[in-house]
Amino acid sequence: MEIKQAEFTTSAVLRSQYPTDNRVEIAFVGRSNVGKSSLINTLTNRRKLVKVSGTPGKTKLVNFFLINNEFYFVDLPGYGYAKVSKVEKESWGKVIETYLLKREQLKKIVLLVDCRHKPTEDDIIMYKWIKYYNYDTVVVATKIDKLKKSEIQRNLKVIKDTLGLQQDDQLLTFSSLKKLGKEELLQVMEETLTEAKD
User: Residue 48, CB half-sphere, CA atoms under 13 Å: how many?
Assistant: 0
Which pLDDT score, from 0 to 100, does residue 77 have?
86
Question: Class assignment of domain 6-197?
Answer: alpha beta
Q: Quick one: pLDDT at residue 67? A: 97
* Tens-digit pLDDT profile for residues 152-175: 999 999 999 999 998 888 999 999
Q: 109 Cβ partners below 8 Å, 6+ apart? A: 26, 27, 28, 29, 130, 135, 136, 137, 138
How confident is the model over 87-115, as a mean pLDDT?
A: 85
Report the C-alpha gap between 166 and 149 in whole angstroms.
Answer: 25
Overall pTM surpassing 0.75 (yes/no): yes
Q: Where are the domains of the chain?
A: 6-197
The model's confidence at residue 95, banded by pLDDT at 50, 70 and 90, is confident
Integer Cα distance of 155 and 117 in angstroms: 8
2-35 pLDDT, tens digit per residue, is 999 999 999 998 899 999 999 999 999 998 889 9
- pLDDT tens-digit readout, 30-73: 988 899 999 999 999 988 898 765 544 455 789 999 999 999 99
Is the pLDDT at 191 greater than 80, yes or no? Answer: yes
Average pLDDT rounded to a whole number, residues 169-197: 94
The mean pLDDT of 98-113, rounded to a whole number, is: 93
